[in-house]
Structure 1
Amino acid sequence: MPLTTIAREWGRIGCLGFGGPPTHIALLRRLCVRDRQWITASEFEDAIAATNLLPGPASTQLAIYTAWRLRGTAGAILGGVCFIVPGLVLILALAAFFLAGGAPRWAHGAAAGAGAAVAAVAVQAGLGLVPASRQRATTPAARLRWLGCAVAGGAAAATIGPWLVLVLLAAGVLEVVVRTGIPRRPGVPAVPVVLAVPTIGGSAAVAWVAVKVGALSYGGGFVIIPLMQSDAVARHHWMTGGQFLDAVALGQITPGPVVQTVAVVGYAAGGLAGGLLAAVVAFTPSFVFVLAGGKYFDRLRADTRIQAFLSGAGPAVIGAILGSAIPLALALQQVWQVVVLAAAAGWLLVARRGVVSALLAAAALGVAAAAVGLPVG
């Protein structure tokens, strides 16, 4: 297969992939399985399962993996880049526009409106993961551990966001120990790195936030929120709470991976160079995981220790996503934003409508609020 075909098709998905991982998976399945028949349906489902075992953005890893299956290393790199770049360019352009001090009032209103809905989106994302995760808890003891890990993840996300990585790792390792005994090489090397975080700043701090997002996050796009929020808002003061809400909203309404939210944080910290650094650091692990481990994916899926780790980390991830809604909601500054949040919650959780439409409607309400003179800052 020509590399030009991979560039064209994966780039098209990168441009049209509004709606997060479900949309990306559907577009890749349509292309690779239904229309072109490059990959069988069972192979594609196995690829989804394998990439969901990895930390980082699963749909991005699926895009890289399917391109790797077709054209090896060159295809994986080209396909992944073409999938990522369209949304990255757009989100950096929007970051420059919305974070600029001279942006028009209607733009600030749109950002404030979309940001107000983000807490509801987080709740929807967390609740959507519950059924599949609960299926892994087959005994009363396992269900009790599931609940404990979920509560721990929620508490960590709401109060100690930067340390959430330790909670996720501990929950996963605990389940491995319960099921298989003490592992020979327990997954604790990350602890010294995390303990060094308070001493770094500048580009190193941006890179560390991106590492947590790209290499240490389990459970999809929304678990990155508590991993970034405390660093971006409270520790380094790169952004205000409202600007962080805007960043999360931008990551939801732009095409491509939701993880590109980290590029907005990087832009706030260090301009265009900071945004590009954050994106490169966050996405590099996905390429490394696929290129180094793609041929071992079948073995990875069958590894009981991996399955046990995910059974423990999974409920902590769900708790973290749900817990992240608390500081997101508390960051709202205006009464009208609380009304928008309530409306978005009804739209997403009761009417069960789409995320992109909810955010666009919230942005329109924000524009209307700005037009009638309500405060939007």
Structure 2
Amino acid sequence: MTDLVKSTAEQSSAETDIVPFSEAMKVWARVAALSFGGPAGQIAVMHRIVVDEKRWVGEHRFLHALNYCMLLPGPEAHQLAIYIGWLLNKTKGGLIAGALFVLPGFIAILALSYIYVLFGNVTFIEGMFFGLKCAVLAVVIQAVFRIGSRALKNKVMVALAAAAFVAIFFLHIPFPLIIIAAGVIGYFGGRIGNRAFQVGGGHKSGSGKILEDKDSVLGEGIPQHAKPNLAWSLKTSGALAALWLIPVAILLLTLGPDNVFSKIGVFFSQMAVVTFGGAYAVLAYVAQAAVEGFGWLRPGEMLDGLGMAETTPGPLIMVTQFVGFLAGFRDPGSISPLLAATFGAILTTWVTFLPSFLWIFAGAPFIEKMRGNAALSGAMSAITAAVVGVILNLAIWFGLHVLFSEVRPISFGSWSLDVPVLNSIAIPSLVLTILASLAIFRFKLSVITTLAASAALGIIWTLSVST
């Protein structure tokens, strides 16, 4: 931590902030408070405030930073906030922007988690989460179409998405291997100049003109602190890596590898390294491991946590905090369940989000000089295409557990899949899912409005059948 403070001081002495630090803090707090609706909504809010309203960063640089963040494992909206905060106010700006982006959601989900475990058997609470589950299923289906329409621009990308779906749904190949394979294919496809892996040259406006950054406060040049500095990157990255990994090592040494907190630290640290492709891709990985592997929670509870994350500010990946909370609550050891749950939530959040700071501070200065790199663009395109197949798997997995009370595994040699028992279909869940899908696809209602309406209908239904 001392190295990180020294590094911040050294960088701050090099030049003044691009914008006043106090004003930047207010803006990042505002961005965090308005960041509902998943990564697309959060990036839109950030763009509206930072690019259109404040004109601190130009369109070209914003998109360049976003492209880099989409190549990284973890939540791209959170990483984008860190990147822009660092550009404007150096290391301290990135730290504050990233911390404020997470804090409101952490507090909200922690409060909802307490209510969930203490009052979850209350009819009102049961009805709310019943409605949220159905709406979340519709939201995930929407994500398949939204990301697919953007990513599957040619037959090669469609084939990559299909292969990723088959690999995870039928063959149960681990998500990280699928994403790594897609990235390698895309990297070499872009490097040899295959047009299928190109994402286009240059960022253009609707009028077809190349977008310029001259009118932004930051301008088109690279600030002194944003120029590649290997010594600064190594010192800062080393301090952040120590803050991330030393607590996990202490847990392993003192509690042993079989302790729930050790498992949380190791699992979510691994997740922070391998989960490329955005929040919904992360959910597929977490759901597979936390529900089927560790048994920390049930499929329906994973949907409850996703409903919490969808209806609170901050990154959608905050659902992992709920997973850590329930893991600690159900395996508290010698301490009280609520204390163990709170520690599980804090530990999960720490190891999930701290690596984002590491990725940005380690790579952003070098990425600032790389514009239009074909190999990196190809890797990003292929990974995004594969993620479509992974999210489709997630939608089907959620659908089976929301719409049917019983599923049965069927095997075909090395292939296997879960199929629903048709007479176990839950008619109320089917009806509410159809209504939520109509709200999103037909009437174009926002995610927040759809979730709120579905929660209300869930409460009404549950209260009516309980009386």
Tell me the TM-score normalised to structure 1 length: 0.86
Partner of 1:63: 81
Change beyond 3 A, Cα 1:180–1:8: closer
Partner of 2:275: 217
Q: Distance in 2 between matches of 1:200 and 1:312?
A: 36
Partner residue of 2:392 out of 313, 322, 327: 322
**Per-residue Cα deviation, 1:245-276 (whole angstroms, up to 9, x for no partner):** 10111111111111111111111111111111
**SS of corresponding position for 1:336:** helix
**SS of corresponding position for 1:90:** helix
Change beyond 3 A, Cα 1:162–1:18: farther
Indicate the structure with greater helix content.
1
Q: Distance in 2 between matches of 1:56 and 1:369?
A: 37
- Tell me whether 1:174 sits opposite 2:185 in the alignment: yes
Partner of 1:258: 316
Moved more, 105-114 or 231-240: 231-240
Q: Distance in 2 between matches of 1:374 and 1:318?
A: 40
Change beyond 3 A, Cα 1:37–1:101: closer
- Tell me whether 1:284 sits opposite 2:354 in the alignment: yes
Matched residues, percent identical?
A: 28
**Per-residue Cα deviation, 1:220-269 (whole angstroms, up to 9, x for no partner):** 21111211112221221111111111011111111111111111111111
Partner residue of 1:43 out of 61, 74, 79: 61
Partner of 1:371: 463
Q: Distance in 2 between matches of 1:208 and 1:156?
A: 25
The answer to whether the Cα contact below 8 Å between 1:57 and 1:259 also exists between their aligned partners in 2 is yes
- Tell me whether 1:357 sits opposite 2:415 in the alignment: no
Give the deviation of 1:163 after TM superposition.
Answer: 1.0
Moved more, 101-110 or 205-214: 205-214
**SS of corresponding position for 1:218:** coil
Give the deviation of 1:113 after TM superposition.
Answer: 1.2
Q: Distance in 1 between matches of 2:157 and 2:269?
A: 27
Q: Distance in 2 between matches of 1:40 and 1:148?
A: 35
Partner of 2:224: none
Moved more, 147-156 or 118-127: 147-156
The answer to whether the Cα contact below 8 Å between 1:3 and 1:75 also exists between their aligned partners in 2 is yes
- Tell me whether 1:33 sits opposite 2:91 in the alignment: no
**SS of corresponding position for 2:118:** coil
The answer to whether the Cα contact below 8 Å between 1:49 and 1:301 also exists between their aligned partners in 2 is no
Correspondence list, 1:77-92, <5 A:
77-92=95-110
Tell me the TM-score normalised to structure 2 length: 0.70
Q: Distance in 1 between matches of 2:146 and 2:41?
A: 15
Give the deviation of 1:288 after TM superposition.
Answer: 0.9
Give the deviation of 1:212 after TM superposition.
Answer: 4.8
Partner of 1:193: none
**SS of corresponding position for 1:215:** helix
Q: Distance in 2 between matches of 1:158 and 1:301?
A: 36
Q: Distance in 2 between matches of 1:315 and 1:26?
A: 22
**Per-residue Cα deviation, 1:325-357 (whole angstroms, up to 9, x for no partner):** 111011124431121112112222233322221
Give the deviation of 1:127 after TM superposition.
Answer: 1.0
Q: CA RMSD in A?
A: 2.3
Give the deviation of 1:162 after TM superposition.
Answer: 7.7
Partner of 1:4: 22
The answer to whether the Cα contact below 8 Å between 2:31 and 2:49 also exists between their aligned partners in 1 is no
The answer to whether the Cα contact below 8 Å between 1:344 and 1:362 also exists between their aligned partners in 2 is yes
Unmatched tracts of structure 1, length 5 or more: 138-142, 182-198
Partner of 1:149: 160
Change beyond 3 A, Cα 1:209–1:156: farther
Give the deviation of 1:107 after TM superposition.
Answer: 0.8
- Tell me whether 1:243 sits opposite 2:301 in the alignment: yes
Q: Which amino acid aligns with 1:107?
A: I
The answer to whether the Cα contact below 8 Å between 1:157 and 1:226 also exists between their aligned partners in 2 is no
Q: Distance in 2 between matches of 1:155 and 1:215?
A: 23
- Tell me whether 1:227 sits opposite 2:285 in the alignment: yes
Partner of 2:138: 120
Partner of 1:95: 113
Q: Distance in 2 between matches of 1:167 and 1:80?
A: 29
The answer to whether the Cα contact below 8 Å between 1:162 and 1:227 also exists between their aligned partners in 2 is no
**SS of corresponding position for 1:358:** helix
The answer to whether the Cα contact below 8 Å between 1:50 and 1:298 also exists between their aligned partners in 2 is no
The answer to whether the Cα contact below 8 Å between 2:190 and 2:376 also exists between their aligned partners in 1 is no
The answer to whether the Cα contact below 8 Å between 2:175 and 2:285 also exists between their aligned partners in 1 is yes
Give the deviation of 1:69 after TM superposition.
Answer: 1.0
Q: Which amino acid aligns with 1:149?
A: L
Q: Distance in 1 between matches of 2:24 and 2:171?
A: 42
Q: Distance in 2 between matches of 1:159 and 1:274?
A: 32
Moved more, 12-21 or 89-98: 12-21
Change beyond 3 A, Cα 1:351–1:166: same
Q: Distance in 2 between matches of 1:373 and 1:19?
A: 31
Change beyond 3 A, Cα 1:347–1:156: farther
Q: Which amino acid aligns with 1:95?
A: S
Unmatched tracts of structure 2, length 5 or more: 1-18, 193-256, 329-340, 406-425
Q: Distance in 2 between matches of 1:10 and 1:170?
A: 36
**SS of corresponding position for 1:288:** helix
The answer to whether the Cα contact below 8 Å between 2:189 and 2:375 also exists between their aligned partners in 1 is no
Give the deviation of 1:35 after TM superposition.
Answer: 2.9
Q: Distance in 2 between matches of 1:109 and 1:326?
A: 23
Change beyond 3 A, Cα 1:157–1:276: farther
Give the deviation of 1:154 after TM superposition.
Answer: 2.1
Partner of 1:192: none
Partner of 1:297: 367
Partner of 2:149: 131
Q: Which amino acid aligns with 1:90?
A: A
Aligned positions, number: 351
Partner of 2:41: 23
Q: Which amino acid aligns with 2:262?
A: A
The answer to whether the Cα contact below 8 Å between 1:165 and 1:217 also exists between their aligned partners in 2 is yes
Give the deviation of 1:42 after TM superposition.
Answer: 2.6
